[in-house]
Structure 1
């Protein structure tokens, strides 16, 4: 097919990327916070609130406090921001070739109808574009994390915890270095991830979102030149904190983005822990510890009818990797700026929504995947029954304790168990026979003879419960 015979898909509304296409339904809530339209709405919000802050504070000589109707009218510019507003801004920006200047004109054009036409010069007063942008991004990222990402993350961790609670007593053969090792419980191993992920969530929930509004190079130079008597640092701090952000008192032209780097590093760490969880669950599925519940009508494999592929966890792995590729780049790029300002951050920050979008998509997949798992207790039991040699650790440790207590014949415990177990299978009968030949005190001997791979789980269940119930 030649080029001129093909339908030009570029002339349609078909999206380029999967987050705006195939997976749009999973990540759509982020659009309200981190899309270009949301950024412009936040810019309008910041500009409007700065206008109100200056007017009501009568900072500039000649200003009077706004009426309630004027204040409400200004804020309606934000609450009524819609597709028509987006289109109008785009038309204005096509002329100004500057996004923040287009926002300034967008607001100024609405002042006459509020009886504030004479105050059009108060819009964007003493501001550089970065004063508006840093606050707008901080608001967007804060709301995206608090309203979308964190709820999805908590829901996902809860889905792991639910399976962990159900399997808290279920014994499972451990594997260290991929080889049979001291048994644990399935619930305890899942609880380890619940504990790790929740720790990261607490860090992320406590994140500060910083902002500044101090002019072209962070000196309040224009502010002081225009109104020298005003306490501009205090005015700025009150404004930033009034937006629900943390005030950054000392910057260059840009807010330094250190908080962004901290946040993205924490989310990336959460993502990486979750990636490890997905790999582990995928592996447990592959050896039959988990059975996947078939979805009615769904195809597991295009050619092998018996298969139910672990696609939720594989999809999550890929999206976590994509998310971290962007988050790690953002975290390292945003904290650097040439001298007082360059625009690398402007380009980079437009991808924050994509970075969080891939993470949210992964969270959704893991949540769904956990809901489609059944614990295969028979497979877990069979594995334990075939690995009695894992009791060698318990036996040699009991021998060490009895040797310390003065019991004779307990020499070389490790070596004797190594000779018994390394490189060969030991069944229940042989293990108990060996214990009976050691000359242990009766209580210790009976304790070991009663021990099985199923019961050799120590405090696993108690440790798991302590975390899962906290």
Structure 2
């Protein structure tokens, strides 16, 4: 038996290059806090099920909290040789509290464990993104109020069309952000189902109170089918779609600012602390921030396609393909958050 969580029938370790190829710790280290919170709630149910004593529970909880606090995720990813964040937590737990650590995985599979961790993580990230989106919305409303009454010519087919107001034009982007906000709420609700207790795919034979765990972990409801719970990634797709729509709308706005700030048009002037210059042409002031937002929106579009293609051919239930959803969703959240932060 190897030291892996899955090593029951195996009597040899993975080749080093195979481990390097299959590891996900370099990505899922972000799930450390979510993994710890899920493990604490799970252990509380193990006490009620008679698997773990109250003393063991206290020991495990103290150790889990220490794991959560002792190192940043990036330090774990660069210094540890564990396969994934779940393996890391279990190994550190065994170092801190001995064999009782191995009781923690009773009545739990990595399949429902990672589904839970992703949902906890994404709910927190969605709250942050919605806050940034609301700030962008309010900032644009402020511009509309400040510039109210300023004449503007609307275009169709990139040709002058009808007289309007600049505030009316900018309020169109506020409408886009409003719709984005609604998509974010939908994505949050999609994430807000608690899958723990689903096991590998057909549930577990321990008397776990899933509704009680859901309440402890601040979930609105529990998942209804264990096979779906461990193989569902719609909540990730919904989140990527939310991020993609934001970036597409930001890209459209940035395209207009780039045009408006050009020397040919000169409708707006970009502040010096929001632009860059040229290494050879000192007169230049380049709209790099807007260009980069426009460029990075293409990454979000490709990520939306990627998560759909990733899932389209997978039979039920869990498949290792789903490991790659983290690469997609983490990048999407990072890009969207950074774009909104500078908007």
2:244/2:301 contact within 8 Å kept: yes
Superimposed CA distance per residue, residues 36-86 of structure 1 (whole angstroms, 9 cap, x where no aligned partner): 32223432332233112321xx2136x544599547624523442315995
Q: Which residue of 2 aligns with 1:47?
A: 39
Residue 87 of structure 1 and its aligned partner are, at CA, apart by: 4.7
**Does residue 204 in structure 1 map to residue 184 in structure 2?**
yes
Q: Which residue of 1 aligns with 2:251?
A: 275
For residues 89 and 238 of structure 1, what CA distance do their matches in structure 2 show? 36
Q: Which residue of 2 aligns with 1:354?
A: 331
Q: 2:169 aligns with which of 148, 171, 189?
A: 189
Q: Which residue of 1 aligns with 2:267?
A: 289
Superimposed CA distance per residue, residues 180-222 of structure 1 (whole angstroms, 9 cap, x where no aligned partner): 21101011100110122122113303522133123444322xx
2:152/2:163 contact within 8 Å kept: yes
Q: Which residue of 2 aligns with 1:325?
A: 302
**Does residue 76 in structure 1 map to residue 65 in structure 2?**
yes
Q: 1:90 to 1:334 in 2, by over 3 A?
A: farther
Q: Which residue of 1 aligns with 2:213?
A: 239
1:268/1:324 contact within 8 Å kept: yes
Superimposed CA distance per residue, residues 366-391 of structure 1 (whole angstroms, 9 cap, x where no aligned partner): x2xxxxxxxxxxxxxxxxxxxxxxxx
Paired residue secondary structure (2:226): coil
For residues 212 and 134 of structure 2, what CA distance do their matches in structure 1 show? 33
For residues 320 and 247 of structure 1, what CA distance do their matches in structure 2 show? 34
1:160/1:194 contact within 8 Å kept: yes
Superimposed CA distance per residue, residues 26-45 of structure 1 (whole angstroms, 9 cap, x where no aligned partner): xxxxxxxx953222343233
2:28/2:85 contact within 8 Å kept: no
Q: 1:255 to 1:66 in 2, by over 3 A?
A: farther
2:144/2:167 contact within 8 Å kept: yes
**Does residue 167 in structure 1 map to residue 142 in structure 2?**
no
For residues 348 and 84 of structure 1, what CA distance do their matches in structure 2 show? 18
For residues 289 and 103 of structure 2, what CA distance do their matches in structure 1 show? 53
Stretch of structure 1 that moved more, 335-344 or 272-281: 335-344
TM-score computed with the length of structure 1 as normaliser? 0.59
Paired residue secondary structure (1:254): helix
Q: Which has the larger radius of gyration?
A: 1
For residues 61 and 111 of structure 2, what CA distance do their matches in structure 1 show? 26
Superimposed CA distance per residue, residues 272-300 of structure 1 (whole angstroms, 9 cap, x where no aligned partner): 1221111122222232221223349x753
Q: 1:130 to 1:335 in 2, by over 3 A?
A: farther
2:36/2:68 contact within 8 Å kept: no
**Does residue 122 in structure 1 map to residue 106 in structure 2?**
no
Q: 1:303 to 1:313 in 2, by over 3 A?
A: same
**Does residue 158 in structure 1 map to residue 138 in structure 2?**
yes
**Does residue 131 in structure 1 map to residue 112 in structure 2?**
yes
Q: Which residue of 2 aligns with 1:345?
A: 322
Q: 1:314 aligns with which of 291, 305, 326?
A: 291
| 1:299-310 → structure 2 map (5 Å cutoff) | 300-310=277-287
Q: 1:185 to 1:355 in 2, by over 3 A?
A: same
For residues 85 and 279 of structure 2, what CA distance do their matches in structure 1 show? 48
| 1:206-221 → structure 2 map (5 Å cutoff) | 206=186, 207-208=188-189, 209=191, 210-220=193-203
Paired residue secondary structure (2:139): helix
Displacement over 6 Å in runs of 4+? none
2:251/2:297 contact within 8 Å kept: yes
Residue 237 of structure 1 and its aligned partner are, at CA, apart by: 3.1
Superposed CA RMSD: 3.1
Q: Which runs of 5+ in 2 are unaligned?
A: 1-25
Paired residue secondary structure (1:174): strand
1:168/1:185 contact within 8 Å kept: yes
1:257/1:335 contact within 8 Å kept: no
Paired residue secondary structure (1:181): strand
Paired residue secondary structure (2:162): strand
Paired residue secondary structure (1:346): helix
Q: 1:128 to 1:72 in 2, by over 3 A?
A: closer
2:29/2:76 contact within 8 Å kept: no
For residues 325 and 335 of structure 1, what CA distance do their matches in structure 2 show? 15
1:153/1:363 contact within 8 Å kept: yes
